[in-house]
Amino acid sequence: MTGRARWHRRAGALPLLYLASLVALALAHPLLPTWRWLAIHMLLLGAATNAILVWSAHFTAAVLRVPAPQRRTGEVARLGLLNVGVVAVLAGGAAELPWVGVGGAAAVFAAVAAHLLWLTARLRSALPARFAVTVHYYVAATTALLTGIPAGAWMLVTDDAARSRLILFHAHVNLLGWVMLTILGTVLTLWPTVLRTRMADDAIAAARIALPLAVSGLTLLAVAVLAWWPLVTAAGLALIAAAVVRTVIPAVRVGLARPPESFAAWSIAAGAAWLLAALVLDAWTLLTAGGPDEGVDRFGIVLLPLLAGAVAQVLIGSLAYLLPMVLGGGPAVVRERNAALDRNWAQRVAMANAALLAFLLPTGPYARIATSLLLLVALCQFLIPAVTVLLRARR
């Protein structure tokens, strides 16, 4: 196996490990009073952040045409520091050890800051590149996370009147900044690759227009939730939604010309649809809330579409496409891996999205348990073949 394949075999196991931990948490959640908080941070801080650090570095090197490093000492150090911090944050939050969590947040901050320095150094040293806008998305996303981490750490040790506003700030900056901006930047090149077709002619121009829209909207939204200006929060979300739509239009046009035919493509497409729906729902909840406390209480109905609908589906769909490609072995082996990860893809995508939609409806507790189990089954239907692919690559 090549050095790149060995690296991705090891690094690819990190987000899968956190996703598997989510399955274990779902089975044991009656014993853990903080299971909701743990589930959110396992997905976002564990699975998504590990995947973003690994794959944003991969795509940065690809689009800037930076030679692959012979040694990955810096990446190993960043990922090691990140995961020490993530484990400390999870342990501190679960065991009510706030200063352990704060120490973990500091470690995560340091790892992400080092990643930002790496990104900016690559931009400064690279020759002008056609897809450099992707790296600008990563820089903006990383800056957003570095802004949101201190708010999360502060909430671990204080419980004052500003807590509700900090929760809204922390959640929006991390979800719509760190995760959404990374998704928008990556989809530019990943989506046509997943469909095995040409990129739309105006896709790069759309990405360049969408980035300042998204950053402006996120800035407005962050300031507005801290000051509690509901109309301004709606304006910020409208700008973010406009950025998403501007990015999606060329992607939809490509998808209509070459319809998706794989689990990865349909999962990413479904995630984009849920993202737009969640932005509309978020604007409605903030506009109609009577204050920050009520806004936090009602934000729960936004979290599920954002987390399970958008973040999880885009993350899983991207991994389903990328892992078989980077593990090496030749075209026949890659096709075999793709077939394993695509098995029963229509059933999996339909079941997950129908269950998610049913969960959001005003149903009884037994219906919610049933739909939760269906979502868990859909996650396992990805995890089992993905782990199998990694283990076979190891052999």
> How far is residue 181's CA from residue 164's CA, in Å, rounded to a whole number?
24
State pLDDT tens for residues 207-262: 999 999 999 999 999 999 999 999 999 999 999 999 999 999 999 999 999 999 99
Q: Residue 2 — pLDDT band, cuts 50, 70, 90? A: low
Region of 67 on the Ramachandran plot (φ > 0 left; ψ -120 to 50 alpha; else beta):
beta
Helices (H), 289-364: 292-298, 300-304, 312-326, 331-342, 345-360
State pLDDT tens for residues 150-208: 999 998 888 777 889 999 999 999 999 999 999 999 999 999 999 999 999 999 999 99
**What is the count of structural domains for the chain?**
1
Q: What is the pLDDT of residue 115?
A: 96
Closest CA to 183 of 246, 250, 247, 279: 247
> How far is residue 132's CA from residue 120's CA, in Å, rounded to a whole number?
11
> How far is residue 265's CA from residue 275's CA, in Å, rounded to a whole number?
15
51-55, 124-128, 197-201: the lowest-pLDDT one: 124-128
> How far is residue 185's CA from residue 192's CA, in Å, rounded to a whole number?
13
11-25, 290-304, 308-322, 359-373: the lowest-pLDDT one: 359-373
Cβ neighbours around 391 below 10 Å, total: 11
Handedness of CA 157, 163, 168, 172 (dihedral sign): negative
Domain that holds residue 211: 3-394
What CATH number should be reported for the domain holding residue 102? Answer: 1.20.210.10
Q: Residue 65 — pLDDT band, cuts 50, 70, 90? A: confident
Q: What's the chain's average pLDDT?
A: 92
285-289, 321-325, 362-366: the lowest-pLDDT one: 362-366
> How far is residue 224's CA from residue 239's CA, in Å, rounded to a whole number?
13
Rg (CA), the chain: 20
**3-class SS shares of the chain: helix, strand, coil, % to 5:** 85, 0, 15
Quote the tokens at residue 80: 């090691």
For residue 394, pLDDT over 80 is answered with no
pTM equals 0.94
Quote the tokens at residue 4: 């790149």
By the 10 Å C-beta count (0-12 exposed, 13-18 middle, 19+ buried), 27 is classed as exposed
